Structure 1
Amino acid sequence: MTMRVLLASLAAGAVTLPVPVGAPAAAVEDLTIRSVTLRPANPVVGPADSVRMVIEVVARGVAGPGGVRIKVEPGAPPASANTSFPVTSSRPGEPARPGPGRGPALAPGPVPAPIVSARLAPGTAERIVSRPGEGWETWRFAPEKSLSRWYPAGPWTVSVTAKGANGAEATGHTRFLLKRLTRFGGVEAVREGSGVRVTGVLNRVDPQGDLDYAPFPGQPVEILHRPGEKADWTKVAGATTDSQGRFARTVGDRTGGEWRIRFQGTNHYAPRLGIVHQVSR
């Protein structure tokens, strides 16, 4: 079942933002989606909290106050989707033409003179700033609904459609990963003979929704060590969690120093770096 995040209009006011510069030269009237920026880029949700996203689209050649629309939904973009920016215009029924690759790295330009924002109809964005003489406008979307554990974890797609004069249209896609929190519990580093035995449990936000956290089985974790607080951390061993999320590993030839556990994460669950532990005797 496809779910869509609805959009809400923003309140009127004067807003000033830096607009990226360095896009390929084009006539001001050319319809182009230059960039799509997501904040946060990859949201992470816990058992009870939620994340509000802000999506900013830089475009030019847009006709009308509702000329830029977005759709946010779970799933990866289709294989045929254009995920490179800038995206230039096409006529109805034609695929949008991508710009050359992803273009150069975009650096912030000088802050342009602010314009007064207009309160637009529900379901559209707000034009918040423009750069006179070049035609670039930034459109900010604030989805009405927050992302939470009850939405599917993994890849999501933001589809952006800009409409210009005479039926021209440009459509581009970008993706993000919605992840759920992970955490460690019961971690200990205990001296054992000429080495140290490190044990603990890796948990994740319960995918069934019955608990806040549940064991995370079958996952690789890294055991890090450093001889003192000013030294660099080094991976000295690894372990795999069992059916109850537990892991254990004895590391030889080290009897002191500081220890911590690291989980690199997956497409559905966030990485985690545990707290520092001292060796117990």
Structure 2
Amino acid sequence: MLATLTAVTALAWPGVPARAAETELSIRSISLRPAEPVVRATGAVKLVIDVVARGAHGVRGVTVLVEPGRPPAGATNLTGVNPDLTPAETSIEPAVPPAVPPAVPPAVPPVVPAVPPVAPAVPAAPAVPEVKPAAAELTATAVRPPVGFHRFRLAAEGWQTWRFNPAVGLTRWYPSGVWTIAATATDQAGNEVKAYTTFHLRRETVLEGVAVSERKKVRVSGTLMRLDPYGLLGRRPFRKRKEVLIRFRGTGGEWQTVASARTRRDGSFDQRVKPAGEGVYRVEFPATSRYAADVSPERRPRRN
């Protein structure tokens, strides 16, 4: 999925000589794939960043900086973050790493664009035990605009797409929550414009052992697990979460929420609901600013 965040600009027709507005240094959009990266116990999430800009020339052209946190106050932000999600996570994340901190994460790596870029600056490794990644400045050379952009005749306006492909992706050792992509376009005279966009780096959650049985009432049980934020285990029980939703869909109907459950200290939950007729149940955990959503398989009630 490609999440493209676009600023307003004027259109032009092919064959028309470039006007001042068509060569003005500006950034139209910053795109990220995947739009909602989720890290797991193993492996890494590879990012692809596209910046659509015009007027960028010279040695630097367009560069991007990827780092955890929000854009600076008053910055030109091409998108927004839901501020209501962040406070709920303050009691979940550990204030400090464990006594034996995990390995220091690697710095965000240089990119490999279609044409070799200017060598990026090599950042310093983060200090232990803070376990925060160092953000590297990534450079690339313009590539052809994606097919979907041709209908806007961006070539006539002087727009170019600059693609960044970091060789190493984000892993569980990087901080979860809000991250910022800062794009800088530079022209031949050394003038610069900046634009920002944000995304959430989330950790995996898994609904395990979901079972549905029916006697006088329907009983839905299971366990909610999350990626261990300390890095000592693969997964750890996700305790005291009250957002676990019990959903029901009758034959030919739509999904509807019939109850919610709260997880215990061991991550388990056990909720009884009034029978809703013939149909199937499933359990859903909605995404937060730090943890990804998960949906269990559909279950028909097992009648005792």
> TM-score, normalised to structure 2's length?
0.70
| SS at 2:157 equivalent | coil
Query: Cα distance, 1:231 vs. partner?
Result: 2.4
Partner of residue 261, structure 2: 239
Separation (CA, whole Å) in 1 of partners of 2:118 and 2:240 = 49
Partner of residue 205, structure 2: 182
Q: For structure 1, which segment, 263-272 or 247-256, has the greater mean C-alpha deviation from structure 2 after superposition?
A: 247-256
The code of the aligned residue for 1:125 comes to A
Percent of aligned pairs sharing the same letter? 39
Partner of residue 148, structure 1: 171
| 1:72 and 2:95 correspond | no
Of 15, 19, 35, the residue aligned with 1:41 is 35
In 2, are the aligned partners of 1:226 and 1:232 still within 8 Å (CA)? Answer: yes
Of 233, 248, 258, the residue aligned with 1:225 is 248
Partner of residue 136, structure 1: 159
Partner of residue 116, structure 2: 119
In 2, are the aligned partners of 1:224 and 1:261 still within 8 Å (CA)? Answer: yes
| 1:207 and 2:229 correspond | yes
Query: Cα distance, 1:225 vs. partner?
Result: 1.2
Partner of residue 130, structure 2: none
Of 256, 276, 279, the residue aligned with 2:298 is 276
Separation (CA, whole Å) in 1 of partners of 2:249 and 2:22 = 57
| 1:159 and 2:182 correspond | yes
Distance 1:37 1:166, change over 3 A: same
Separation (CA, whole Å) in 2 of partners of 1:221 and 1:22 = 40
The code of the aligned residue for 2:263 comes to T
Of 192, 200, 206, the residue aligned with 2:215 is 192
In 2, are the aligned partners of 1:191 and 1:255 still within 8 Å (CA)? Answer: no
Query: Cα distance, 1:55 vs. partner?
Result: 0.5
Distance 1:183 1:21, change over 3 A: closer
Q: List runs of 5+ in structure 1 lacking aligned partners.
A: 1-19, 86-116
Distance 1:71 1:134, change over 3 A: same
Q: List runs of 5+ in structure 2 lacking aligned partners.
A: 1-5, 12-19, 80-113, 121-138, 146-153
In 1, are the aligned partners of 2:180 and 2:199 still within 8 Å (CA)? Answer: yes
Partner of residue 96, structure 1: none
Separation (CA, whole Å) in 2 of partners of 1:39 and 1:263 = 23
The code of the aligned residue for 1:249 comes to Q
Distance 1:189 1:160, change over 3 A: same
Separation (CA, whole Å) in 2 of partners of 1:23 and 1:74 = 29
Over the aligned positions, Cα root-mean-square deviation in angstroms equals: 2.1
Partner of residue 61, structure 1: 55
Partner of residue 4, structure 1: none
Partner of residue 15, structure 1: none
Of 160, 180, 193, the residue aligned with 1:170 is 193
Separation (CA, whole Å) in 2 of partners of 1:232 and 1:126 = 48
The code of the aligned residue for 2:186 comes to K
Q: How many residues align?
A: 229
| SS at 2:45 equivalent | coil
Partner of residue 282, structure 2: 260
Q: For structure 1, which segment, 50-59 or 63-72, has the greater mean C-alpha deviation from structure 2 after superposition?
A: 63-72
Distance 1:217 1:168, change over 3 A: same
Q: For structure 1, which segment, 37-46 or 160-169, has the greater mean C-alpha deviation from structure 2 after superposition?
A: 160-169
Separation (CA, whole Å) in 2 of partners of 1:181 and 1:62 = 38
Of 270, 294, 298, the residue aligned with 1:248 is 270
In 2, are the aligned partners of 1:196 and 1:255 still within 8 Å (CA)? Answer: no
